[in-house]
Amino acid sequence: MSAVPLLKVKDVSKFYGSRIGCRNVSFELHPGEVLAVVGESGSGKTTLLSCLSTRLMPSSGIIEYHMRDGQYRDLAHMGEAERRFLMRTDWGFVHQNPADGLRMTVSAGANVGE
């Protein structure tokens, strides 16, 4: 296992008004590790993964990724094009509902190209 984490999540919370999506989640993920996020329905798994994938911005906390240039970048401060590139090259995300991950107004080929 590498001493340098690929992903550092520090005190990530997401609130929907007064409702809690997830609160104070922290972990590090190292190369070669597998992390399972488990919990009851409504416990915040999808909210957390949406924050990690930048589909939602967390209400608080920091999500840093170890980029190919060796630097850590806070995902919330990356531009849209840079985040989309990261999702196409380094990350994979399988949505529960396929429509959440596809652009339904373009062809299947355009979605695959993305």
The total domain count for the chain is 1
Q: Does the pLDDT value for residue 42 go beyond 80?
A: yes
**Domain ranges, residue 63:** 7-113
Higher pLDDT residue, 66 or 111?
A: 66
CATH of the domain at 17: 3.40.50.300
- DSSP β-bridge partners for residue 63: 9
* 2 in any annotated domain: no
Residue 44: CB partners within 8 Å, gap ≥ 6?
A: 14, 20, 21, 22, 23
Query: In whole angstroms, what is the distance from residue 14 CA to residue 50 CA?
Result: 10
Percentage of the chain with pLDDT > 70? 79
* 70 in any annotated domain: yes
Residue where the block lists tokens 């107004």:
105
**pTM of the predicted structure, to 2 decimals:** 0.77
Q: For 89-101, what is each residue's pLDDT tens digit?
A: 888 766 666 666 6
**Are 47 and 31 within 8 A, CB to CB?**
no
Grouping H, G, I as helix, E, B as strand and the rest as coil, residue 20 is strand
Token couple for 3: 């001493």
Query: In whole angstroms, what is the distance from residue 18 CA to residue 65 CA?
Result: 29
